[in-house]
Each structure stands twice: as structure tokens, then as C-alpha cells.
Amino acid sequence: MAEEGTHNTATDAASRPAREPLPLATAIDAVPGVGAARAKAFRELGIRTVADLLHHFPFRVEAEHGEDTIAAHTAAIAAKPDAEKSANIAIRGTVAASRTAFGKRPRLEATLDDGTGTVRLVFFNMPWMRGKLHPGRQGIVEGKAKLERGYLEVVNGKWTDVSADPSGKEARSDRMRPVYPSTEALPSRAIEQTVRAVLEPACAAIPELLPREYLEPRGLIGLRDAVRGMHAPATEADFGAARTRLAYDELLVLQLAVAIKRRMRSAQGAPALPMPPATEREILARFPFEFTPDQHATFREIAKDLGDTQPMNRLLQGDVGAGKTAVALASMLVAVANRHQAAMMAPTELLAEQHFASISRFLEGTSVRVALLTGSLSASERARIRDLVEMGGVDIMVGTHALLTGDVRFHALALAVVDEQHRFGVAQRAELRGKAPAGQTPHMLVMTATPIPRTLSLTVYGDLDVSTIRHRPKDRSPVHTRVLGEQRADDAYAFVAERVSRGEQAFIVVPAVEESDFGLKDVASHLARLEAGPLKGARLAAMHGRMKPDERDAVMDRFRAGEIDALVATVVIEVGVDVPNATVMVIEHADRFGLAQLHQLRGRVGRGPKGGVCVLIADPTTDDGRARLEAIRSTDDGFRISELDLAIRGPGELFGARQSGLPPFKVADLTRDLGLLERARRDATEWIARSPLLAQDGEHVLRRKVLGTYGEALGLGDVG
């Protein structure tokens, strides 16, 4: 919805005729009935203008029954058959009396009088109502009324106090009432009252984004009708039609931005990196195992893109242990075979070090030159590697964010790989892409071990082509997951001790590095307790993110060598740690971790032929915590887990808007609008094919909306 109109704070909105459009930029404190206190409450909700107010949509509507007198309701219910002497009612009256009654079921009782009769109100388990039902208070009660010994009774009804609300004096008729996101200082009804004061004149100022001939074949209503239908629907169907139109707009605007971005990339030039059959055979021969069918398929998809001068922009997704790193290395070797450089960026030093070590092992005995660049290197070592990269003395560069610094320049970067890409923002990926020689764009491969739900793959990653490794290597045994309460923690460690006695190894994950006030187990204290108790005699060590890199490396080297039986660690071991002899993962306070994080941690065991067991120790106190533990216990399929995680947490919390560039949706819901999203994607592709920059007549409002919403996030500066 574009915000057009001139902002004039001197304009008194109350004096404006209803038929004259109200500028959407009008300040909220110029709206009738909005004084200084209410304007402050609106601003705390992020509502500063009339446009903000119209965009503050209700999250649902409720049927509100029309009022009638107590006498009329009593007579109507009395006329019903004995088995049906009840009805949903709305009655306005004055509290005549109230009292607290004790007994087996303590309750609050009140008598409401409207001059035609009385109704008995009963509230169980609602102690806060005592302060609201003083004699003399006026209000409306809604709920199911029963006829008891000739008198109406409403149990746990909905009470609305209208004693001090001038707008509540008039009798209500049947209607759909919007329910808004609200605060204690600004309840839903107060928001509704303010919206109704400006709805018609403000709607008149809303410009239509889409032509009528576009809307009708898709069954979409006009934008002004949609805004009215969200805030003041006549029926639930009206609210649904309004929601569909506004959700479609949000999805279409995103998909148009993505389509523009794809078209812009297609015009850029990347080095062609062909892979003849002999090169493919030579590359695959470097691996001491045979690629799975999924690995073969994804590698060939990537190689096909690399052979083109249009820059590849591909997402490689696969479950924990599916073999993504091997595919990424094979792809980087295609660049090396064509006398170009490749870079792999990881989010942590530990993961970068792991990648460097495994790549070096695979390439041992070859002429391929591999280097590691992290923030912990000495200045002299950093300068040496930086110079080598710039002169072409490094073929594959592995590193952290340190790769993005301005003094790092590549001689011939042709492929950039980003691992665990959801931990990097759009701007960081663009910085890495900018490391190629002037006039060229490198191919981009981003990887994730957190499989992307279908809806998110079309939104957050909509400008990427997706390759998927669904199946794990055949030699990977399943990991069995058990959930235990805190009172059974000793059973878990008895199991760890038994496995250690057989020569196997274990990870024990705790949420804190050091003791805190939150009662969470920390590395040092828990390590000491285990050494003195259930794991006495076992060789234990600690690992956490505050250790120096060389200390961390030394611990991991000892663990891989079998010199440590159990590693007590934080989530620093979440990704990139591969110890085939580790068969047990214990996670303390498991309900404190996200579902994807639990799945990643579980993936650290079972990487050898012995399989693995993951024990989650927790006493969850929230519904979300219980849902996460049940989800992780029920399946080890990362794709299924990603869908469950989306359903439990929602997309904003799942990926983090700042890091992922998550769309700022107010109406669209990625857990329910997949069909609408796919329609918007098709429509956007067709639209940009005929109008690549949205510069045709009648498209200026839509163009401004697309660039204003996604121009910075998707780097569409060249379009503006």
C-alpha cells in the first residue's frame, strides 16, 4: 500500500469531510479522539501515521451478538424445548450486587440489572474479575445463557465495561468485531474506535497497486475494499477475501523483487568453467568413497551451471551427514581445473578449521594449494596468505568473515561457497561475491544443513536455484533419540559410562559456559560433577567458544585420536565436527535449544558404522518446549523437522529477519499460504518477462512499493 499525500500536521482531521481523502501521512495525533496519552500508546506499537494505523491489521475477527433485554432473552429461552433452554446472548446492564462465594469451587457471583429483569453472572477461576464487577459499574456481558429456576445465568461470560466509554453507550447489533494486536495501554477496542474514525476518508487515499483486469481473473477484490474488509468486515467471508488480497500483494511484491534480481544476475558475466568427462573422473577419484546418487545428481547440476557464463546462484541443501561438503569440494575443484580460484566461507573458526583439515586430507598428494584465513591468525601470517591469494598462489581459500575484509583480494575468484549460509546476511554474501576481479561475478553456492521448507525456499531463498541431497550414505546407521526428565539424568550417564567402557566416545552438551543465575548447567561445574560422580575414571575434557583456537584444536585432536572419552561442550560442536567413534550425545536442558539446533547436535553422533544414541534431558515448562522435544524424538528426517520447526516457531523466529532478509509480512502466513505464494511466483515471473524494470505506464506505484520494500535487501539499486 503506497503512502501518498502530503503530511500536514496542522490539518485537523476531525474537520475534514468524510468524502475528502485523508492523507495517509497524517500524524496519528491528528486523528479524532487521539489525545497525547493515546498517541504515545500508538507510537509504542509503531503506529505514527494513518498509514501505519491502516497497516495494523486485526489478526482475527469474532462474531459479536446484537444486544437485547433480559426480559426478551428470558422469554425466548423459556419458549424453547426443555433440552434446549440456552442461547448465546449479549446483555447491557448495571451491576446491582457482587460477592465472592467459597466452597468446593470458589467463584465470583454478580447480579446484572437492565431494568427489565436480572441475570446472574458466575465466574470460576477468574479472580481478576473481582476488581471489575463493583456495584454501579455498567457493562455488556456476552456468553451462553441458561434458564435456571426462571432466571438467566451466564457462566464465565465475556465482560466489557462501558462505564467510561462514550462509544459504548449505543446498543450493538450483530456484527463481526476485529481483534487487534494490542497493549494494556491501548486495548483492541480502542484501536478499533480510532480505525473507524478514519477508515473511509483514509481508504479514499489508497492508490490501487494492480489493474482491475489483473484482479478479476484471479478472484481478487480491490485494495480499498480489502483494507475495509480487514478492519470492518460484514461477514467472516469478507474478512477472508480481504486477507487473501492483502496476502497476495505481499507475496507478489516479494516475488517481483526476486524476479528482477534474477534478471539482473542473468545480465552479469561469470567465467565459464567447463567439466569434460575426464575432469569429472579425475575429481571423483580424489574421494575415498563413491558418491551417492543424490551427490552425483547435485554435483552435475552445479557443474552444468558452472559451465555457463551466467553466474550460478544455487542453494545446496541436505540433512546432517548427507555429504554436502564433498559436493562443494568437487565443485571447487572444477574451478581449480579451469585455472581459477575458489573460496569457502564458514560462520565459525571451528567449522572453518574443520573444512580446511578435511579438504587438505582429500587433496593430499595433489598440486592443489589450500589455505586457511581466520581472525585469530597473527598479522604476519595473515599478510603472507593475503599476498599469496592476490598473486594466485592459493587455489582454494577457506575462512571465516575474515575473507570479507578489504585487504583480501583474489587473483581469479570464480566460485564462492558459503556454508551454514543462514548465519550470514545478504550483504555479507554480496561482499564475498565482490571479491572477483573487476568486471566479473563469481558463481555462488550456498549450503545449509537445515533443510528449507518449501514456502521459505520460494521467499527467503527465492532468487536461488535449489539442489537437494535427500538421502544419507548407506553406511550411516540411524541415531535413536530418547527424552528423559531431570530425575533420570543418572540413568543417562550410566548409559554413557557403559558405552565408554566399550571404547566408544560421547558428547555432553550444556547451554552455559560458566555458572549463571538461571540455574542452567555450565561446562566447568558439570565437568567437575561428572568427574567426581557418574563418569569417575573416564577421560573427560571441556570445549567452548571462549577457548583460544589452538586450545580448541588440541582438544579436538585428542578427541579424534581417542584420548578423550567424553567431551563436555557448548553448542560450539554443533556443526563441522566429525568423529566416527562418537556414539552418544547427551543434551542437558534440551528444551532450551531450537529444533534445528537439536537436530544438528544429534548429527554429531552415528557418523560411523556403530550408529548412535541421542539422550535429551529436560523438564519443559512451555508448550513450545514440549512440542520441540516430541518433534525431535519422533523423526530424524531433517526435511520433516524443518517443516515442524516452521509450524512451531513461525518463519520470523526460525530464520531471524535481520540475518535472512525475511520478508516483512503483516498478513501472509508462510505456514498456510503456499498455494497463494506459488501463484504469486508464476505471476511475477510473467510480469517481469514483459516489463523487466516495472517502468511501463501505470506501474509506478507498484515499482515504488517493490523497491521501497526490498531494494536494499536484494541489492536492487541499479533498478531505482
Strand order in the sheet with 566-569: 479-484, 612-617, 582-588, 505-509, 566-569, 540-543
pLDDT band at 27 (very low <50, low <70, confident <90, very high): very high
Closest by Cα among 404, 460, 445 to 660: 460
Q: Is the pLDDT of residue 367 over 90?
A: yes
Report d(CA 534, CA 491) in Å as an integer: 9
Mean pLDDT is lowest, of 45-54, 215-224, 509-518, 707-716, for 707-716
At residue 13, does pLDDT exceed 60?
no
Each domain of the chain, given as residue ranges in start order, spans: 1-58+180-207, 66-173, 277-307+323-448, 479-635
Tens of pLDDT along 217-247?
999 999 999 999 999 999 999 999 999 999 9
pLDDT band at 376 (very low <50, low <70, confident <90, very high): confident
H helix or E strand, kind and range, residue 491 = helix 489-501
Chain position carrying cell 500483494: 249
The DSSP secondary-structure symbol of 292 reads P
- Per-residue pLDDT band for 168 (boundaries 50, 70, 90) equals low
pLDDT of residue 661: 45
Cβ atoms of 391 and 384 closer than 8 Å: no
pLDDT tops 80 at residue 55: yes
Q: At a CB cut-off of 8 Å and minimum separation 6, what does 307 contact?
A: 272, 273, 274, 275
The angle subtended at Cα 19 by Cα 17 and Cα 25, nearest 5°, is: 80
Listed in sequence order, the residues at least 6 apart from 495 whose beta carbon sits closer than 8 Å to its beta carbon are 584, 613, 615
Q: What is the pLDDT of residues 138-161, one digit of tens each?
A: 999 988 899 888 889 999 988 888
Q: For 581-617, write each residue's pLDDT tens digit.
A: 999 999 999 988 888 788 888 888 887 778 799 999 9
pLDDT of residue 154: 93
**pLDDT tens sequence across 324-352:** 899 999 999 999 999 999 999 988 887 88
Give the Cα-Cα-Cα angle 219, 221, 222 (nearest 5 degrees): 140
CB atoms within 10 A of CB 593: 24
Question: What's the half-sphere exposure (Cβ side, CA atoms, 13 Å) at 63?
Answer: 7
When mean pLDDT is compared over 370-374, 511-515, 569-573, the highest value belongs to 370-374
Render pLDDT for 519-549 as a digit per residue (tens, 0 to 9). Answer: 788 898 999 999 999 999 999 999 887 888 7
62 CA to centre of own chain: 28
| Nearest C-alpha neighbor of 530 from the set 504, 569, 561, 556 | 569
**Residue 167 scores a pLDDT above 70:** no
Query: In 10 A of CB 519, how many CB atoms?
Result: 8
pLDDT digits (tens, 9 = 90+) for 629-648: 988 898 887 778 777 777 77
Confidence of residue 714 (pLDDT cuts 50, 70, 90): low
Q: Say how far apart CA 184 and CA 207 lie, in whole Å.
A: 34
Tell me the C-alpha distance between 701 and 692, whole Å.
15
Q: What's the confidence (pLDDT) of residue 102?
A: 82
% of the chain residues with pLDDT over 70: 88
Is pLDDT larger for residue 566 or for residue 67? 566
pLDDT tens digits, 551-560? 888 898 899 8
Q: Do domains 277-307+323-448 and 479-635 have the same CATH topology?
A: yes
- Which among 113, 141, 138, 116 has a CA at the least distance from the CA of 126? 141
The pLDDT value given to residue 471: 77
Note the pLDDT of residue 158: 87
Whether the predicted pLDDT of 51 surpasses 90: yes
- What value does the mean pLDDT take over residues 485-508? 93
Cell readout for 600 is 544438528
**Would you call 37 helix, strand, or coil by DSSP?**
helix
CATH superfamily placement of domain 479-635: P-loop containing nucleotide triphosphate hydrolases (3.40.50.300)
- The answer to whether residues 397 and 373 touch, using CB atoms and an 8 Å cutoff, is yes
Where is average pLDDT lowest: 78-87, 451-460, 576-585? 451-460
Backbone angles phi, psi at 605, to 5 degrees: -115, 165
Distance CA 447, CA 400 (A): 15
Q: CA-CA distance, 201 to 310, in Å (whole number)?
A: 50
Cα 213 → chain centroid: 35
Higher pLDDT among residues 376 and 590, named by residue: 590
Q: What percent of the chain has pLDDT over 90?
A: 44
Fold observed for domain 277-307+323-448? Rossmann fold (3.40.50)
Phi (first) and psi of residue 137, to 5 degrees: -70, 140
User: Would strands 479-484 and 612-617 be described as parallel, antiparallel, or unpaired?
Assistant: parallel
Nearest-5° angle of CA 558, CA 608, CA 617? 80
- Which pTM was predicted? 0.65
pLDDT band at 2 (very low <50, low <70, confident <90, very high): very low
Q: Convert the pLDDT of each residue in 244-263 to its tens digit.
A: 999 999 999 989 988 888 88
Residue 554 CB: number of other CB atoms within 10 A? Answer: 13
Q: Does 657 score more than 80 pLDDT?
A: no
Max CA pair span of the chain? 98
The residue ranking higher by pLDDT, 517 or 295, is 295
Among residues 416, 454, 224, which one has the least CA distance to residue 314?
416
Residue 6 has pLDDT above 60, yes or no: no
Burial 485-497 (b: 16+ CB within 10 A, else e): eeeebeebbebbb
* 81's grid cell: 424445548
* Closest C-alpha to 31, from 45, 20, 19, 42: 42
Residue 68 reports pLDDT greater than 70: yes
Q: What is the tens place of the pLDDT at every residue in 691-704? A: 988 988 889 999 99
CATH classification for the domain delimited by 66-173, as one of 1.20.1260.10, 2.40.50.140, 3.40.50.720, 3.90.1150.10? 2.40.50.140
Mean pLDDT, the chain, integer: 85
Which residues sit opposite 102 in a β-bridge? none
3-state SS assignment for residue 494: helix
**Cα gap 1→225, rounded to integer Å:** 13
Under the banding of pLDDT at 50, 70 and 90, the label for residue 653 is very low
What pLDDT score was predicted for residue 456?
66
Cell numbers placing 170: 449505543
